């Protein structure tokens, strides 16, 4: 059985760290009258230290219990006689990193920071225990930091820590692989040089400073030997326990393959869109023909069918197919896709069989959204031009429910007027949102279908 520990005269038995070393029921410093000058007694609920204060005094618990409060929440407690608190501010001159509140009636010793040197000379045990405390904490911190770095090296994402000036303090193996640079090369270097668009990166860091943290922003980096490389980065400001800004933590992952996939999808879309349009046109045409079959030629039926019926059925079927195919393009008001639809229609349906030489798509204000075949200002209207034509006198009173005939001047028809047949494409309760204009070759239509201009103005589609 070992002898109980004896306390030499003139020494103070102190705890190491937030948890004091075991002590006897009666604290060994209780009988040292000279320490009474440092003694303070606090009532339950009374605050001893306040988080963020500049006070630097050192405290030691004699008896009682203390609650440690961080940002309004209790994080731990101290109840072992001989435990220090407030030692970081006392030794390092930092602000209080937490509040200390008496959980019940509590007695402490307060050693003023203004008498730091005198206290060290008069109470050498105090200095020795403080040194041991700091050494132990340094050891624990170093061990934790090394363990954290080892853990970071196992992470698949690239992690780096910088100082406030964006100089690299630490990064893991994944960062070396992602950025194509060794730790030895980047230690203490600014990370700005890593990014291809430095203005975009600095704007990203401004957002981090404003919001404290930003998640998932894609940035382009300068990776050695790569034409282009993209990373998705999340960043957060780092603060010390006192809330002072210390630097940044950035975590990134490779998204280059996603960008390449997006680029490939755009390329596929560029050639797939006309194919879909053509499919819609063919489907619309077949659907119309299923609902309303095209009459057989007059030579194959006993009862002759007027030639005009062939023209009307053809226009109805083509219009139904074009309405279906143009719907997505009109919804987006895409001036790129509309001409593709018109070109696909012309290739698939041979509109010249009906005497149609061209097509226009107009919005509600009669501005040109699409043209086929493409023209220049010297040969005809251009995209965005206002449609110009003279309304034919035989047009019905309610043109929004019927096709309408316009007489137009065309550079390719010197000495005579052209004829356009306008059909509503999109209709709402407030009126027609878009129009389809068929450019007609009247000599062909008059000869082939026995239809005059007046006859066209009277038809209903």
Express each pLDDT in 226-246 by its tens digit.
767 888 899 998 887 666 788
What pLDDT is recorded for position 242? Answer: 62
Angle between helical axes of 307-332 and 337-349 (0-180°, round to 10): 160
**pLDDT above 50: residue 282:** yes
Classify residue 35 by its DSSP letter: G
Query: Which whole-number Å values give the CA distances from 363 to 315, 385, 398, 410, 427, in the listed order?
Result: 20, 11, 18, 21, 11
Fold match, 155-254 / 261-458: yes
Q: Domain 33-142 is classified in which CATH homologous superfamily?
A: Jelly Rolls (2.60.120.10)
| Average of per-residue pLDDT across 45-56 | 90
Express each pLDDT in 149-179 by its tens digit.
676 677 788 888 888 899 988 888 888 888 8
| Cα–Cα distance, 430 to 205 (Å, whole number) | 50
What pLDDT is recorded for position 59? Answer: 92
| Average of per-residue pLDDT across 115-125 | 79
| Nearest Cα residue to 426 out of 371, 345, 380, 364 | 364
The answer to whether the beta carbons of residues 11 and 57 sit under 8 Å apart is: no
Q: What are phi and psi of 399, to 5 degrees?
A: -65, -20
Angle between helical axes of 307-332 and 256-291 (0-180°, round to 10): 160
> Which range is most confident: 9-23, 226-240, 347-361, 376-390?
347-361
In this structure, of 1-5, 294-298, 314-318, 353-357, the range with the lowest mean pLDDT score is 1-5
| Nearest Cα residue to 166 out of 188, 196, 183, 184 | 188
Q: What are phi and psi of 215, to 5 degrees?
A: -110, 140
| Cα–Cα distance, 186 to 163 (Å, whole number) | 13
Place of tokens 């209080």: 96
| Average of per-residue pLDDT across 393-405 | 66
Domain 155-254, CATH: 3.30.450.20
**pLDDT above 70: residue 100:** yes
Q: What is the mean pLDDT of the chain?
A: 77
CATH of region 261-458, choose from 2.60.120.10, 3.30.450.20, 2.60.40.10, 3.40.50.20: 3.30.450.20
**pLDDT above 80: residue 180:** yes
Share above pLDDT 90 across residues of the chain, in percent, rounded to a whole number: 10
**pLDDT above 50: residue 301:** no
Express each pLDDT in 418-449 by its tens digit.
899 998 888 887 888 889 999 999 999 898 88
Q: Taking the domains of the chain in order of start, what are their residue ranges?
A: 33-142, 155-254, 261-458
């Amino acid at each position: 059985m070992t002898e109980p520990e004896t306390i030499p005269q003139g020494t103070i038995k102190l705890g190491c760290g937030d948890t004091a070393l075991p002590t006897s029921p009666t604290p060994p410093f209780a009988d040292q009258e000279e320490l009474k000058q440092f003694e303070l007694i606090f009532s339950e609920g009374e605050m001893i230290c306040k988080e963020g204060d500049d006070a630097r005094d050192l405290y030691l618990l004699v008896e009682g219990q203390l609650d440690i409060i961080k940002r309004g929440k209790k994080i731990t407690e101290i109840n072992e006689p001989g435990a220090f608190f407030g030692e970081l501010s006392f030794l390092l001159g930092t602000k209080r990193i937490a509040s200390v509140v008496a959980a019940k009636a509590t007695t402490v010793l307060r050693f003023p920071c203004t008498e730091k040197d005198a206290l060290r000379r008069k109470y050498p045990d105090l200095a020795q225990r403080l040194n041991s405390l700091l050494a132990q904490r340094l050891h624990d911190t170093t061990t934790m930091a090394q363990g954290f770095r080892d853990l970071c090296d196992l992470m698949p994402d690239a992690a780096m820590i910088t100082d406030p000036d964006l100089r690299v303090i630490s990064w893991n193996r994944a960062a070396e692989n992602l950025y194509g640079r060794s730790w030895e090369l980047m230690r203490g270097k600014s990370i700005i040089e890593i990014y291809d668009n430095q203005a975009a990166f600095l704007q990203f860091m401004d957002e981090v400073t404003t919001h404290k943290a930003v998640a998932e922003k894609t940035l382009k980096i300068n990776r050695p030997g790569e034409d282009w490389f993209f990373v998705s980065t999340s960043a957060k400001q780092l603060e010390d326990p006192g809330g002072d800004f210390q630097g940044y933590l950035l975590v990134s992952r490779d998204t280059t393959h996603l960008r390449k996939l997006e680029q490939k999808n755009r390329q596929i879309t560029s050639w797939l869109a006309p194919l879909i349009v053509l499919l819609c046109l063919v489907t619309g045409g077949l659907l119309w023909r299923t609902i309303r079959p095209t009459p057989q030629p007059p030579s194959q039926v006993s009862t002759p069918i007027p030639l005009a019926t062939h023209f009307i059925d053809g226009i109805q079927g083509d219009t139904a197919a074009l309405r279906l195919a143009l719907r997505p393009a009109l919804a987006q008001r895409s001036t790129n896709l509309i001409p593709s639809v018109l070109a696909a229609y012309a290739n698939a349906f041979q509109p010249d069989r009906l005497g149609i030489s061209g097509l226009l798509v107009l919005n509600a204000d009669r501005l040109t959204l699409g043209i086929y075949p493409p023209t220049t200002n010297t040969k005809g209207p251009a995209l965005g031009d206002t449609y110009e034509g003279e309304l034919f006198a035989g047009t019905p009173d309610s043109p929004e429910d019927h096709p309408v005939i316009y007489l137009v001047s065309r550079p390719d028809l010197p000495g005579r007027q052209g004829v356009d047949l306008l059909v509503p494409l999109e209709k709402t309760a407030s009126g027609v949102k878009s129009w389809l204009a068929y450019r007609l070759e009247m000599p062909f239509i008059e000869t082939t279908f026995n239809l005059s201009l007046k006859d066209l103005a009277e038809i209903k589609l």
